[in-house]
Amino acid sequence: MKQAKNTQTVSVDDVQQTLYAKRQKIHPRKVSGLFAKLKVTSVLVLLGIFYIFPWLQWDGKQAVLFDLPARQFHIFGLTFWPQDFIYLAFLLIIAGLSLFFFTALAGRLWCGFACPQTVWTEVFLWMERMVEGDRPQRIKLDQSPLNARKFRLKATKHTLWIVFSLFTGFTFIGYFTPIHDLLDRLYPFSLGGWEAFWLFFYGFATYGNAGWMREQVCTYMCPYARFQSAMFDKDTMIIAYDEARGEPRGSRKRGVDYKEKGLGACIDCTMCVQVCPTGIDIRNGLQYQCISCSACIDICNDVMDKMGYAKGLIRYTTEHSLEGKEVHILRPRIFVYGGFLLFLLGLLIYAIGIRNPIQLDVIRDRASLYRETSQGLIENVYVIKAINKDSVPHTFELTASGIEGLKVVLDREIAVDAGSVLDVPISLVVNPNYLTDRATTISFKLTAKDNPELSNEEEARFLGPNYR
Amino acid sequence: MSKPELKPVPQIQKIIAVLWPSFIIAGMATVGFFTFFDPVQLLHLEVSNEAAYSTGFFIFWLLTLSSSLLTLYFQLPTHYIPPPPIIDQSPDDL
């Protein structure tokens, strides 16, 4: 991304100072307006999903549960197994591509409205504001020496933050351990060591990232922030200050004809800087630190309204449109990203659609090659693993083919619960007259008795004596 | 127009550059590894899967962390800026 347009040369002294100076704490001012409302909506929806999902039930079980001990992921009636890793890989590729697509189209929408860092920071800021007040009060408080009031306010804020963080950590582990059970074991506290560890780990990460680190996460930790410029072009939507209209900036009284005074529309009130959560001045041009949160648009529109000027001195626009050139929304980049995205999405839906919920694994008994029964038949012993990934239990019928007269000997029913595996020891017997080779490839077929369309096959080898 | 100079890398960025990428890669490695290997079958140990996954994650993190640390370490400059060359002067110039 382009650097600030009017960057001053940095002297050696400045460099020394920035090396050793502590980071300037940023106190974003409260904003209201269209984009602020959109952001609140986005925060409520996304956090709602995060905090409510683990409590939802589906068929009497937790709807979204990543059951690590059982090595199964349950997502609304679908059960995913380690064998389904490919779907996860697909999903991640699709998520990555959507990021490409939306970035090319609309810039850093993700950063400003959907990124967990933004969403949680917003909530933490809201708590901070509730306790300590808006920007001027917070700056004053931070500058004042420690006294009873400051201690009380800071303690209240951190208590709120910590409680909320622990609740977040609790919700997080609720995705991996049934959350109702977890709640029961919270008081008296009897969580397992690792459960407790991850609860505090995730809670601490939330507290640290949303309370303390904030914009530094975006600047230093986020890989997307670093490479998003690769997806940008001059037709990508960005938040920009209309320099042509705004400059030369300067203060003036309301109602004064600024054009006569030789001024632009910017009254240099610095509100856009005060609301910025990353502490930049949008008037310096497109900057890597800008997370496109649109706070400066909202506040500047307010100011323009008060001054009786037209809105949109800072607005969503494109570089081309700022330069007065034609804007192309449909461009090769969009078609390439969009095409790939649609293709992969289709493929994923198709793959999940044709996913066979029945799986069959056959393991030969390694202890013996074959056995001759008292009736003179040749017997081979196997363990079959019947895997039912379906959401309802099934009873199965097992057949084998490949040699004439091959018979499955089985002493129980193969009834497998929804999302379970059943190991069944079985044996196959055959009349040796039909055996032509020492080893014959045979095929097992597992069919659901209630639905013959649900079936799967697996090959195995049948061993016998050498007759010829 | 000359390119504007960038500020030097602050300490916090170095700390994050070691801890954070190693964390992400360790997480991905853990998911990948345990997708294909069930710790209970692999180790025949009497540990819960949670303990195995968590320990596995921290072992991965230790490995990736060491790599990140070494990268940072090897990035330290090795050459001194040479002092300005001595220019011949005659006593008359002084």
Q: pLDDT tens for residues A246-290?
A: 988 998 888 888 888 889 999 999 999 999 999 999 999 888 889
The alpha carbon of residue B36 is apart from the nearest alpha carbon of chain A, in Å, by: 7
* pLDDT (average), residues A368-388: 89
Q: Give the H or E element holding residue B21.
A: helix B11-36
DSSP readout, B60-89?
Answer: HHHHHHHHHHHHHHHTS--SPPPPPPPPP-
Closest residue to A10, CB basis, from B5, B10, B16: B5
The alpha carbon of residue B27 is apart from the nearest alpha carbon of chain A, in Å, by: 14
Alpha-helix residue ranges (DSSP H) falling in A107-242: 109, 116-132, 135-143, 148-173, 179-184, 193-206, 215-216, 223-227
Is the pTM of the predicted complex or chain greater than 0.90? no
**Average confidence score pLDDT of chain A:** 88
Beta-ladder partners of A455: A447
pLDDT in tens, A164-214: 999 999 999 999 999 999 999 988 888 888 889 999 999 999 999 999 989
Looking at residue A14, its pLDDT comes to 47
Q: Give the H or E element holding residue A382.
A: strand A378-388
Looking at residue A2, its pLDDT comes to 42
Q: Which residue has the tokens 């380690």?
A: A82
In order of A45, A63, A262, the CA distances from A76 in angstroms are: 19, 5, 64
Q: What is the dihedral of CA A78, A79, A82, A87, to 10 degrees?
A: 0
* pLDDT (average), residues A404-408: 89
> Is the N-terminal amide bond of A223 cis, ω within 30° of 0?
no
pLDDT at A419 over 80: no
Looking at residue A160, its pLDDT comes to 97
The alpha carbon of residue A100 is apart from the nearest alpha carbon of chain B, in Å, by: 20
Q: Given an 8 Å threshold on Cβ–Cβ distance, is B50 in contact with A192?
A: yes
Quote the radius of gyration of chain A (alpha carbons, Å): 32
| Alpha-carbon span A329 to B45, nearest angstrom | 58
Nearest CA in chain A to B6: A10
Interface test with B, best of A1, A11, A67, A71 (most B CBs within 10 A): A71
Half-sphere exposure of A368 (CA within 13 A, CB side): 12
pLDDT at A9 over 80: no
Q: Given an 8 Å threshold on Cβ–Cβ distance, is B54 in contact with A197?
A: yes
| Alpha-carbon span A54 to A62, nearest angstrom | 7
Residue from A202, A33, A30 nearest A122 by CA:
A30
* CB atoms inside a 10 Å sphere around CB A220: 19
Looking at residue B2, its pLDDT comes to 59
Q: CB–CB of A24/A279 below 8 Å?
A: yes
- CB-based burial, A129-143: b 16+ in 10 Å, e otherwise: bebbeebeebeebee
| Alpha-carbon span A143 to A454, nearest angstrom | 70
Report the SS3 class of residue A407.
strand
The alpha carbon of residue A216 is apart from the nearest alpha carbon of chain B, in Å, by: 9
Q: Is residue A140 very low, low, confident or very high in pLDDT (cuts 50, 70, 90)? A: very high
Nearest CA in chain A to B32: A85
Q: Are strands A314-317 and A407-409 parallel, antiparallel or unpaired?
A: unpaired
pLDDT at A47 over 50: yes
- A-chain residues within 8 Å CB-CB of B30? none
Closest residue to A69, CB basis, from B5, B13, B48: B48
- A-chain residues within 8 Å CB-CB of B1? none
Q: Is residue A153 very low, low, confident or very high in pLDDT (cuts 50, 70, 90)? A: very high
Q: CB–CB of A102/A211 below 8 Å?
A: no
Beta-ladder partners of A193: none
Q: Give the H or E element holding residue A62.
A: strand A61-62
pLDDT at A369 over 60: yes
| Alpha-carbon span A17 to A11, nearest angstrom | 10
Looking at residue B94, its pLDDT comes to 65
Q: Given an 8 Å threshold on Cβ–Cβ distance, is B8 in contact with A15?
A: yes
| Alpha-carbon span A101 to A89, nearest angstrom | 18
Q: Are strands A371-372 and A314-317 parallel, antiparallel or unpaired?
A: unpaired
Type of residue found at A126? W
- Scan residues 39-98 of A and list those with Cβ closer than 8 Å to B: 68-69, 71, 82, 85
Closest residue to A82, CB basis, from B35, B48, B51: B35
Q: Give the H or E element holding residue A415.
A: strand A414-416
Q: Nearest-5° angle of CA A55, CA A56, CA A59? A: 130
* pLDDT (average), residues A383-412: 88
| Alpha-carbon span A47 to A54, nearest angstrom | 12
Looking at residue A442, its pLDDT comes to 92
Q: Is residue A27 very low, low, confident or very high in pLDDT (cuts 50, 70, 90)? A: very high
Which residues of B have a CB under 8 Å from any CB of A?
3-5, 7-8, 10, 12-13, 16-17, 20, 35-36, 38, 48-51, 53-54
* CB atoms inside a 10 Å sphere around CB A12: 7
In order of A53, A66, A79, A195, the CA distances from A57 in angstroms are: 9, 14, 14, 22
Q: Is residue A20 very low, low, confident or very high in pLDDT (cuts 50, 70, 90)? A: very low
Looking at residue A412, its pLDDT comes to 84
Residue from A79, A51, A59 nearest A175 by CA:
A51
The alpha carbon of residue B34 is apart from the nearest alpha carbon of chain A, in Å, by: 9
Q: Given an 8 Å threshold on Cβ–Cβ distance, is A19 in contact with B8?
A: yes
- B-chain residues within 8 Å CB-CB of A68? 49-50, 53
- B-chain residues within 8 Å CB-CB of A18? 7-8, 10
Task: Please indicate if any CB of chain B lies within 8 Å of the CB of A15.
Answer: yes
pLDDT at A315 over 50: yes
Report the SS3 class of residue B34.
helix
pLDDT along chain B (94 residues), means of 10: 72 88 94 83 73 91 95 86 83 74
Q: Looking at chain B, how many residues does it have?
A: 94
Closest residue to B35, CB basis, from A23, A69, A85: A85
Q: Report residue A249 as tokens.
A: 């900036």
Lowest mean pLDDT among A82-86, A456-460, B32-36: A82-86
A117 CB contacts (<8 Å, ≥6 apart)?
A209, A210, A217, A218, A222
What 8-state DSSP symbol labels residue A84? G
Closest residue to B54, CB basis, from A4, A85, A194: A194
pLDDT at A6 over 80: no
Looking at residue A1, its pLDDT comes to 41
Q: What are phi and psi of A407, to 5 degrees?
A: -125, 135
Q: Is residue A467 very low, low, confident or very high in pLDDT (cuts 50, 70, 90)? A: low
- B-chain residues within 8 Å CB-CB of A15? 7-8
pLDDT at A5 over 70: no
